[in-house]
A and B are shown apart, each in its own frame.
Chain A
Amino acid sequence: NAGVTQTPKFQVLKTGQSMTLQCAQDMNHNSMYWYRQDPGMGLRLIYYSASEGTTDKGEVPNGYNVSRLNKREFSLRLESAAPSQTSVYFCASSEGGGQGIMTQYFGPGTRLLVL
């Protein structure tokens, strides 16, 4: 099993450009998450999907959109990139269901630089 995979690994954008970060998991998990990680800020939740077809905003959703394409895939889109969106983006998944501890499994991350 590959676990959680993310593409691309690294991307440079100019202000105003758009891009989509891709995430896929092969663990048959129900819940998927997008985080950003910035120095001194820790991991902050951008969007969350409890199941296929549902998405919810997290702590920092402004400037982002998401799509839960199917149970395996959860994409994050930046419509008009801004320098403040320079960060490391992590996708994660868990079994979900809100029943007991649900370990979140993380992908390797996408490093995004917006100039």
Chain B
Amino acid sequence: QKEVEQDPGPLSVPEGAIVSLNCTYSNSAFQYFMWYRQYSRKGPELLMYTYSSGNKEDGRFTAQVDKSSKYISLFIRDSQPSDSATYLCAMSSLDTDKLIFGTGTRLQVFP
């Protein structure tokens, strides 16, 4: 079993939809939770991060962490075609700089 599981998709939604992207994990030592966005043929770029449990909002994006369920989510409101990309979750524990990545979910938002 992988430490981090993520549905690869693809997920196809109409413009304006609310998108929910999710990851589950097995390592209870994870404390930092990140979402990276990767456009086609580009390197990943950090979208959002949270520490421990709770929610964090940034514009149309909301990241949620439920440590009791070992489950994290990224919500995208009013999705736009420019949001079409692969979204990777990543996690790490307190004592390391290394990240463990999910496999990524490919999202397509059509006009």
Identify the A interface with B (CB < 8 A).
4, 31, 33, 40-45, 48, 50, 58, 90, 92, 94, 96-98, 100-109
Chain A residue nearest to B31 (CB atoms) is A101
A104 with B99: CB separation less than 8 A: yes
Chain B residue nearest to A94 (CB atoms) is B97
B98 with A108: CB separation less than 8 A: no
* Cβ < 8 Å to A, chain B residues 1-51: 6, 8, 32, 34, 41-46, 49, 51
Query: Once bound together, how far apart are the Cα atoms of A92 and B104, in whole Å?
Result: 17
For B32, the chain A residues whose CB sits under 8 A away are: 101
For B43, the chain A residues whose CB sits under 8 A away are: 4, 90, 92, 106-109
Given known A-B contacts A31-B97, A43-B101, A94-B97, A106 and B34 have beta carbons under 8 A apart? no
A98 with B96: CB separation less than 8 A: yes
For A102, the chain B residues whose CB sits under 8 A away are: 97
For A105, the chain B residues whose CB sits under 8 A away are: 45-46
From A31, A42, A48, A109, contact of B101 by CB (8 A): A42
Chain B residue nearest to A3 (CB atoms) is B43
Query: Once bound together, how far apart are the Cα atoms of A43 and B32, in whole Å?
Result: 17
Further contacts, 17 of them, CB under 8 A, given A58-B98, A102-B97, A109-B43: A33-B98, A43-B44, A45-B98, A45-B99, A90-B44, A94-B97, A98-B96, A98-B97, A101-B34, A101-B92, A103-B34, A103-B46, A103-B49, A104-B99, A107-B43, A109-B41, A109-B42
Given known A-B contacts A90-B44, A101-B49, A109-B43, A41 and B99 have beta carbons under 8 A apart? no
Query: Once bound together, how far apart are the Cα atoms of A107 and B38, in whole Å?
Result: 11
Query: Once bound together, how far apart are the Cα atoms of A58 and B99, in whole Å?
Result: 11
Chain B's nearest CB lies how many Å from the CB of A97?
A: 7
What are the nearest 10 A-B pairs in CB distance? A106-B43, A42-B103, A43-B101, A42-B101, A101-B32, A31-B97, A106-B44, A103-B46, A102-B97, A108-B43
Is B88 part of the contact surface with A, judged by Cβ < 8 Å?
yes
For A107, the chain B residues whose CB sits under 8 A away are: 43
Query: Once bound together, how far apart are the Cα atoms of A94 and B101, in whole Å?
Result: 16
B34 with A48: CB separation less than 8 A: no
